[in-house]
Structure 1
């Protein structure tokens, strides 16, 4: 009986570490996978405060440090039931079914380019608030992200590599 209690108590710190790591990955906007699959992490998320009452845009970067590509297939949020993903080519915006997230690469959703479009807003987000969204992928599990609402003209500087 003591042996079992000792081994269980010896495993407690290991179990606590596993739980902390799993919780940390969820809070950091990560999708963990086994093997060589996609390993996704989201950064730089934001939504400019919309100037109108009925639509808004969202921007973020999805990094994939895994050996397999993935695809962003949809986005959901309580703020709208009509959320689509768009690309911009030659200054013309068009809806797409999915965005590629290349293996060992990234998907950049940024002003003037590909982005998330929120139509028929249920309420207008204000600067300083956060909009919760869930990103859905072809292979990886969903990732929950908060988009901080910034001033309408906000455009972060990207550093060229």
Structure 2
């Protein structure tokens, strides 16, 4: 009789152990989730000089982490990523796009720097840029050229 009770108990224990090896945490999210990126608020203030410009946008990610590794455009071959902190600007190799988070490029903070422009973009034009991400590949964004003093209401 003991042997008959023991077998179901062993089978239940083995089932519980296998259930615990499911590969995702209790929240239902897996660390291997693919990034789901959305780029909004892109703009370029009209350059004051003819050879340099800045670019801003927000990347919202509702999936796994990603990294913005570079930016290309027909406007110039010289586009760099910059951070600004405490009035000091520094060139960066990449920007992290956190899982279920945002990367914000805005005036006074992280931004794109366009140098050696092929032409001086004017208000009303759109500058096409290709954002290159480590996981998501390339995302093309049209950046409208705004007045030099433009500051969006959202702060981004």
Q: Aligning the two structures, in what range does the TM-score lie when normalised by the shorter sequence?
A: 0.7 to 0.9
Aligned to 1:150: 146
Query: Which of 122, 130, 133 pairs up with 1:137?
Result: 133
TM-score (norm 1): 0.75
Return the alpha-carbon distance in structure 2 between the equivalents of residues 143 and 69 of structure 1: 16
Cα deviations by residue, 1:85-122 (Å, 9 ceiling, x for unpaired): 00001111110000010000000000010000000001
Asked if 1:51 corresponds to 2:61, the answer is no
Give the C-alpha shift of residue 137 in structure 1: 0.6
Q: CA deviation at 1:141?
A: 1.5
The one of 85, 88, 92 aligned to 1:92: 88
* CA distance, structure 2, for counterparts of residue 152 and residue 76 of structure 1: 22
Structure 1 residue 158 displacement after superposition: 1.7
Shift of 1:36: 1.9
Q: How many residues align?
A: 124
- For 2:85 and 2:146, the matched residues in 1 are separated by 25
Alignment of 1:106-121 (within 5 A): 106-121=102-117
TM-score by length of 2: 0.78
Pairing 1:65–2:48 present: no
Q: Any unmatched runs of 5+ in structure 2?
A: 1-31
> Which 4+ residue blocks in structure 1 deviate beyond 3 angstroms?
none
1:6-25, aligned counterparts within 5 Å? none
Q: 2-side partners of 1:157 and 1:94: how far apart? A: 26
Structure 1: gaps (5+ residues): 1-34
Tell me the residue number matched to 2:38.
41
Report which of the two structures shows the higher radius of gyration computed on alpha carbons: 2
Secondary structure of 1:53's partner? coil
